[in-house]
Amino acid sequence: MSDAAQPTAAEVRAAVEAVKTALDRHLAAVERRTGEDDQAVYEAFNELASAAETYDELLYDRYDEVTPFEIPGAEDSLPPYAGPGEPNAVSVLIRRDYSVAEPQRLLAQAQRVEAAEYEDGEGANDDAAATVPGALGVLFGEFEPDEIASRHKEFGLEEGDSTLWVTAVDEPAEPGEWLEAPFDQVDPERVLCRFDVSAVFDEDHEDDDEDHEDPEDDDEGLDELDADDELDGDDDLEPLDAER
């Protein structure tokens, strides 16, 4: 950075004062916390992170020094909330990833859904549940996403990462307005809260568990897996809701 572009000593001093103010506000918000998801604490945390990052950058540019502060995931985190103070409506964005762990189980469950829906055989599409894409269409068309999530193993699926974003909107969208591109117009500054679930969060715990495993327990687990590993027709499938 050239000398002309360097911040002034006054700008660095102002930045550190902003950090002090943000620290006081964060502590005050924590002391007044009303629950685990207190919006005031969330906003105060983001303001503190932003102020600390600004100070760190200016300090380095001016004096070639750094701070000992590190904000986890600061580059990937959402910006401070800048939406309406009292939102009239919210939009909930959800993504859940799955892998098809047991294709035969998936196909069998989809075929059972088709058979239950067309008990008399009329109107049934024999090819609909005969392929993995068709079976996925049958199951996701029959069950709500939350039910798929709670019964994913029953359907031969394995959970991957998932995320849920709650965003503030000025007014509810018109029917059909966003269906073609549901995630294209998300404003990060209007995200009220976000919840992520990922296997990477559990890696450290899994490593600790592996260090304390008993070899004898491993052998027993393998024996049980060998005995129950293969599906045995419909006997190995969980019952579907009779009235579906």
What length does the chain have?
244
Residue 95's SS3 state is strand
Instruction: Tell me the backbone φ, ψ of residue 96, rounded to 5 degrees.
Output: -130, 130
Please choose, from the candidates 56, 50, 52, the residue with its C-alpha nearest in 3D space to the C-alpha of residue 82: 50
According to the model, what pLDDT value does residue 184 have? 83
pLDDT in tens, 21-49: 999 999 999 999 888 778 888 888 889 98
- Is a pLDDT exceeding 50 seen at residue 74? no
Q: How many CB atoms lie within 10 A of CB 22?
A: 21
pTM of this prediction exceeds 0.75: no
CB 98 within 8 A of CB 161: no
Q: Is the pLDDT of residue 1 over 60?
A: no
In the chain, % of residues over pLDDT 90: 41
Distances (CA, A) of 84 to 44, 87, 168: 17, 5, 7
Q: Is 94 helix (H, G, I), strand (E, B) or coil?
A: strand
Residue 29 has a CB neighbour count (10 Å cut-off) of: 19
- Span 128-167, pLDDT tens digits: 788 999 999 999 999 999 999 999 999 999 999 999 999 9
Please determine, for residue 127, whether its predicted confidence score (pLDDT) is greater than 80.
Answer: no
Helix 103-117 vs helix 132-142: crossing angle, to nearest 10: 50
- Please enumerate in sequence order all residues whose Cβ is within 8 A of that of 171, keeping only pairs 6 or more positions apart, or say none: 88, 89
Please tell me what DSSP assigns to residue 164.
E
Statement: residue 68 has pLDDT above 50: yes
Contact indicator for 110, 135 with CB cutoff of 8 Å = yes
Tell me the average pLDDT across 97-104.
95
Q: Does residue 220 carry a pLDDT above 70?
A: no
Residue (of 159, 146, 155, 130) closest to 237 by Cα position? 155
Closest CA to 71 of 46, 92, 90: 46
pLDDT class of 94 with cuts at 50, 70, 90: very high
Q: DSSP H helical segments within 75-201, as ranges?
A: 103-117, 132-142, 145-150
Cα separation, 217 vs 158, whole angstroms: 24
Model confidence over 164-216: pLDDT tens digits? 999 998 888 899 988 888 888 788 889 988 888 887 766 555 555 555 555 45
Question: Which candidate, 165, 169, 170, 140, places its Cα nearest to that of 155?
Answer: 140
Whether residue 123 has pLDDT greater than 80: no
Separation in Å, CA 199 to CA 3, 18, 142: 47, 37, 28
Given a contact cutoff of 8 angstroms between Cβ atoms, the answer to whether 194 and 163 are in contact is yes
